[in-house]
Structures are given as C-alpha cells and as structure tokens.
Structure 1
C-alpha cells in the first residue's frame, strides 16, 4: 500500500492545482471598481488580473457598443502603465477615451488588417509584462482562441479585455457561445440622470454581469465612467421617497 504524501509534497500538489486553475499568487490580484455592491459579487473583490474578460453592448447598435468601449476604457485607465488597444476598424475615438480617464499618451493603438491578425496581436500583447492592460475589439471569439488568451494573461499577469463588436447582426449570436473568459459583461445605455436645472445629466448604463467564474451574476444601474475611470451606482432621484430601499441593483437568479 503506497505511503501517504508528506506535508511538503501535499503543499506542492495543492499549489500546482491552484496554478492550473489560474489561481496562483500572481493571479489573485484584483482591480476593484470601488463600488461595494459590484465588488462583493466578484471573487477577490474586483476584476481578476492576469485574466480575460469580455464586454459587449446590450444591443446591436453603435450607441450601446460605444458604451461598452467606454466601460472598458475606464477599467484600463485604472491599471498601471501603457494600454495596448487592438482594432480592425478606423474608428477609435481618442477624446472619448480621455474623458473616461485614458489619455492618448497611455494608449498604444494597433490597427490590424483582419481578426486573425488581431487575435495574434492580442495574445502577444498579453504575454508582455510591461503593459497595464490589453484591449481587443473582436467580433468572434472561439473557445480555443479564448483559452490561448486566458493562458497568456495568466502567465504574465496582464489584464485582457475583449470588446465584442459586430459588423452584422447574425454575428452577435457568437457572444452567447461559451468561452474561457473569467467574466462576461453587457452594457446598455439608459436615460441620463436628471439635473436640478435644465440640461444634460451624467450618462447612465444598465451594467449586466452575465457570467462570473466562481461568482454571482447581477444587474446594476450605474452612472457612466467619469474622468478618473470610475463608475458609480445611480443616485435616487430628488423627488423619490426617502424610505430605505435597495436602489440600482437587481440580483439575477
């Protein structure tokens, strides 16, 4: 009968298992949103670094797609160092990224000829330890490609953000297919907040966490990314009852 494992062997085996699951010490680092209602639903209290995350617009139009990009820009803005942003279209709008806290001086803009080349650039960028985050705008993301990206992110501890954009409506169905991403988000534009005087209030989004590995799914009504890259739960309207209530969050079951 084989002898039982001694303590050092058992500890080494456990660490190996954690590493294979993408939970090594490097990958336990997280990037909190700074919104307790959101962070408490994410393992570790924030977005896992050294991991792949997906974000898409809630609809097929350009407005929701732009909101998804701004949400990602706010996340990338709160990392340290340069941000590699990979695209196949000539429509990356630097002033909008700057308003979300990501100035042009921090962005390395890579324009690729097709999605295959973009995915290769995405993977190589994730393997580079000198960038704070890598963003790639992709229409389709297969399980095989996402696994490669996830492994690259885990190995270097780099934050990977895939913005799902579609040229045609049928391509949107690919977003429902399983991938190796740690979280999957959807962003939809809501009516802007009401100001005490006539004018345009701060933009508001419906933020849906539709998949979270080892975490919970939920919906949040939030105020859009500000100049520091941060979002906030929507404040109750001035004429709303002051009775205690849970506002701005709906748990998904």
Structure 2
C-alpha cells in the first residue's frame, strides 16, 4: 500500500534525509567493515510500551538503499505495542540496511513518541465528550508527519496551515482595535472559519456577535471554562487551550468544552525507545 499525505513527498523526504546523513563520502564504516555481498536479517522491536507511527516511512529508507529488501510488517500504525514487540522484520543487503538504520529509527522513534504522547492525552479525557486537537507547534519541515502521528494517537488535526482558517489572537486584536473589529474584518475578507482566542469572558459576546465560528478559551481555569461554556450556550464550538498537561487536561475537558488542544503532544513529545537488531542470515 502506498503511503501518501497531502502536500508531503515521501521520496523527496527520504532522499534529503539520507543525503544529510551520508554526506559526500557515504557510510564509510559499513563500506570498510561489511563485505558488499553480505546479507543481514533483523527485527525492529519496541523497548517500551508505545503507540506505533511511521512504519511506512521507516520502510521507505530501507527500500531507497536496497530496492529488493524483504520487509515483513508485524504491526500497523496506530496500534499499541508492548515492550519487546516486534514491529517489522527486514532482510537484505547488509551495507544498505546498516546505512539506512539510523534514519529509519530516527523518524520512527520520533513519530511513535508523538503518537504515544497523544494517546495518553486521549485516554486521559476518555468519556468526557471532549475531542483532543493538535496545534501548529511542530518542528519545521515535519508538520505533515507529526500531524499524521497525532492522528495515529487518536487526536484530530486542527489547522494544518495558516490558510486553513483565520485565528485571531491577542496581537491581532490589539492592532485591529478590539475583538469585534478584528472579527468583522475577517468576515469582510470572506473567511468562512474564524477562530478567536478569548482571554477574558467579556470578549465572548463581541466575538460571536461579529461572526466568530469557534472560540479558543485561552489559559482559563476550570471555573472560568465552565462559565464561558455556559455563556456561549452551544452557539459555536469551544476549545480549552493553554497550559494543559496530562494531569490537568481531564478537569478542563469535564467543563463542557467541545475541544481541548495541547501543543506539547508535538512540541515536547520524547522519542520512544525502538531498536533494530541484525543477525547474520
């Protein structure tokens, strides 16, 4: 099955990553130590409990350097994998597999880390009715992949790009001269989705009255969130955002908000421990 994401070229990503790693001289260690005809088999295993994301991309690195490599996938992206679980098996030219190993592991460890962190937050709000959203707090150049990983972890993608929707924040409001005026300008520009960051409860009515379609309730505690939800009365979706952590997200979700958004699931997710152990065939 072909791996495809909107506005993401897997072949270009693999080529650029390998070029960065190979440098001008290539993998001088493998070239010097491993006979060109040598073949290796190996298993990629999780060394902790994770949610898997990025296997098709990891596989692409092996295929780029050994088009005849044999790959057997043991799990699929989005699945939980316990400690010691085999994720995939590979068999092919030893030099090629060793050269691709680090690039394949780097992306798989990172994306699985994002998916694992995301799933923990999704589990934390289970049963509240709130939906977890990701943010644009992503590593430059990796947004499509990191937002793919959050989907594998159970979140819903928020804005992918600045042109997906207007998001009016405090600086926009300050320059425009007020929440209502900022929203009216967005409406006049013909923008259909207008998200407004609300710092104070008294901004709610001006924002909705001017045409906001979504309110981001920024850095509000549970009491303020409940009051805001009551004031909105279901007229537009509400989103709790800012300062939420794994130990506080459920309390925010229980206030009745439509969404909770967490930047740390992409911005601060630690890479998980996955290893690739080769055995001579």
State the TM-score, normalized to the length of structure 2: 0.26
The structure with more strand, counted as a fraction of residues:
1
The structure with more helix, counted as a fraction of residues:
2
Larger Rg: 2
State the TM-score, normalized to the length of structure 1: 0.28
